[in-house]
Structure 1
Amino acid sequence: MNKIMEIKNISLQFGGVKALNDVSFHINEGEIFSIIGPNGAGKTSMLNCISGLYKPSEGEIHYKGKNILPMKPHQRTKLGIARAFQNIALFGSMSVLDNLKLGRHTLMKSGFIKSGIYWGAAEKEEVQHRRKVEEVIDFLQLQDIRHTPVDKLPYGLQKRVEVGRALALDPELILLDEPMAGMNASEKEEMSRFILDMLELKNITVVLIEHDLEVVMGLSNHLVVLDFGKQIGFGTPKEVQQNPDVIKAYIGEELTI
């Protein structure tokens, strides 16, 4: 399989604290890849390095063979990398539709001045962006709540809209930070189905952080395991669950898949 991303010897330091320490792994194109570990292991810090919110102290991150560390977050977005956050970062008073439309903002080519002068081109671009948003609404089954303010929705649906805003960027690689946190069993099952469909129907490579090990082991093709910023495991779910360092530090006992 082709590697879509390579993490090479990434370290991240805040003062005297090393959040990540010489972490290296790769993500294959067309897979669900999970980053797991105890609280404080450095999972979200890793996503922040990939998306550009943090700049590592050492190492390189290659996306499709190109080192993206010098690039700003919006530049990485235009390359095809999108991010959904653990803490919902939506505009509560705005509708689901408007939040998803805002998700496309960084891809707009027609600025305010151009929109005023060349209305025809800007209008055509708006139609194209709206079409993409409608695809996301249909994909995540948000039709009935499209005009509902986000802060009026239950938590599970807000998480779905958060994922939808990342999908609206039409990514090739999507970073999902605990998309099932706080969900009940049926909501987790539904989100798992959406994640599988991202891969199977939209050909999006998925990078997932999730604490529910049963869900992770069932969805993932490969995983990396972090503990206090150090990498202690990398491989298939079966390889990871049999790794003695992972069992000792995190799992506690072997999982049955």
Structure 2
Amino acid sequence: MTVLSITEASLAFGGIKALDDVSFTAASGEITAIIGPNGAGKTSLFNIISGFYTPQKGRILFDEQDITGMRADKRAALGIARTFQNIALFRGMSVLENIKLGGHTRLNTGFWSAGFYYGNAQREEARLRAEIERDVIDFLELDHIRKAPVGALPYGLQKRIELGRALAMQPRVLLLDEPVAGMNREETEDMARFILDIQARWGTTILLVEHDMGMVMDISNQVVVLNFGRQIAVGSPEQVQANPAVIEAYLGTSDRSDNTAGEAIA
């Protein structure tokens, strides 16, 4: 079943086209990777899906509901969560406090009880904390540092905490913007394992922007390739690796051997 559908989406900043007639669908419970050279429009695509930008043309459907002009907070409440290319955590707050912030879209406490923090507000916050400690912190193996300030932790753990904050929203669609950028091989393998476990445990539909082609080709069900804002290929990892347009985008020419092309993309 299709959960997310992008149809002829275009986004321009002045005379620069960040996206130009991009169309694809993301199937429920599958991992769709968005790849392409720097400046291809990958993060711009995430921005129109999550509501930071509104495309000048095209439609975005979530569960067959048109969300093209919907505010970002409304999309989050529907179940669209994301992480960011650059870490966007509150460095002076603890791991638990940062992750709990992701659950705010699921709180129903009224203004007054939340402001004075009594009654339903206390009970709802306690339930949220217990749920996050059980389903997110334990799952991501962060229990030993849950009270530590985020700013004192290494980069790899901070990326994992940002993933935890997105998971606290209980998303149906999870957008991961370069989740392993800057990580070493061991950290990359750990993150890939967590992503696959999220897919298996909760059936979450995942969209992944990543430059680590080995990881992309190993864990993705579908790959969408962008170049200068245009979609040049979509298909399985095997189909994309053999696509001449993809090879040319990554190598600058299609006149390369299949082995060289495979190594460059994979």
Q: Please report the TM-score for the alignment, with normalisation by the length of structure 2.
A: 0.92
Cross-structure match for 1:61: 60
For residue 31 of structure 1, report the CA deviation from its aligned partner.
0.4
In structure 2, distance between residues paired with 1:39 and 1:61: 24
Alpha-carbon RMSD: 1.6
For residue 119 of structure 1, report the CA deviation from its aligned partner.
3.4
- Cα distance 1:234–1:150, how it changes in 2: closer, same or farther (>3 A)? same
- Letter aligned with residue 18 of structure 1: K
Note the residue ranges of structure 1 that are not aligned, 5 or more in a row. Answer: none
Counterpart secondary structure, 1:23: strand
Counterpart secondary structure, 1:234: strand
- Letter aligned with residue 49 of structure 2: I
- Letter aligned with residue 165 of structure 1: R
Moved more, 108-117 or 20-29: 108-117
Cross-structure match for 1:253: 261
Cross-structure match for 2:142: 142
Q: Deviations over 1:103-136 (max 9, x none)?
A: 2123221134033689332233212211232121
- Letter aligned with residue 196 of structure 1: L
Moved more, 242-251 or 81-90: 242-251
- Cα distance 1:150–1:69, how it changes in 2: closer, same or farther (>3 A)? same
- Cα distance 1:249–1:116, how it changes in 2: closer, same or farther (>3 A)? closer
In structure 2, distance between residues paired with 1:97 and 1:227: 39
In structure 2, distance between residues paired with 1:209 and 1:117: 41
- Letter aligned with residue 105 of structure 1: H
Cross-structure match for 1:194: 194
Cross-structure match for 1:153: 153
In structure 2, distance between residues paired with 1:245 and 1:68: 31
Cross-structure match for 1:16: 15
For residue 195 of structure 1, report the CA deviation from its aligned partner.
0.2
Matches within 5 A, 1:202-221: 202-221=202-221
- Letter aligned with residue 222 of structure 1: Q
In structure 2, distance between residues paired with 1:72 and 1:185: 37
Cross-structure match for 2:242: 242
In structure 1, distance between residues paired with 2:74 and 2:44: 19
Q: Deviations over 1:122-171 (max 9, x none)?
A: 23321221123212101100001101110100000001011111011111
Note the residue ranges of structure 2 that are not aligned, 5 or more in a row. Answer: 252-259
Cross-structure match for 2:27: 28
Moved more, 107-116 or 146-155: 107-116
- Letter aligned with residue 202 of structure 1: W
- Cα distance 1:122–1:231, how it changes in 2: closer, same or farther (>3 A)? same
Cross-structure match for 2:103: 104
- Letter aligned with residue 108 of structure 2: K
Matches within 5 A, 1:227-238: 227-238=227-238
In structure 2, distance between residues paired with 1:156 and 1:96: 13
Counterpart secondary structure, 1:119: coil
Contact 2:113–2:119 (8 Å) recurs in 1: no
Identity rate of aligned residues, in percent? 54
In structure 2, distance between residues paired with 1:127 and 1:154: 28
In structure 1, distance between residues paired with 2:220 and 2:190: 16
Cross-structure match for 2:256: none
In structure 1, distance between residues paired with 2:88 and 2:116: 33
Q: Does 1:165 align with 2:165?
A: yes
Cross-structure match for 2:257: none
Counterpart secondary structure, 2:90: coil
In structure 1, distance between residues paired with 2:117 and 2:50: 33
- Letter aligned with residue 254 of structure 1: G
Q: Does 1:80 align with 2:79?
A: yes
Moved more, 33-42 or 199-208: 199-208
Q: Please report the TM-score for the alignment, with normalisation by the length of structure 1.
A: 0.96
In structure 2, distance between residues paired with 1:224 and 1:34: 6
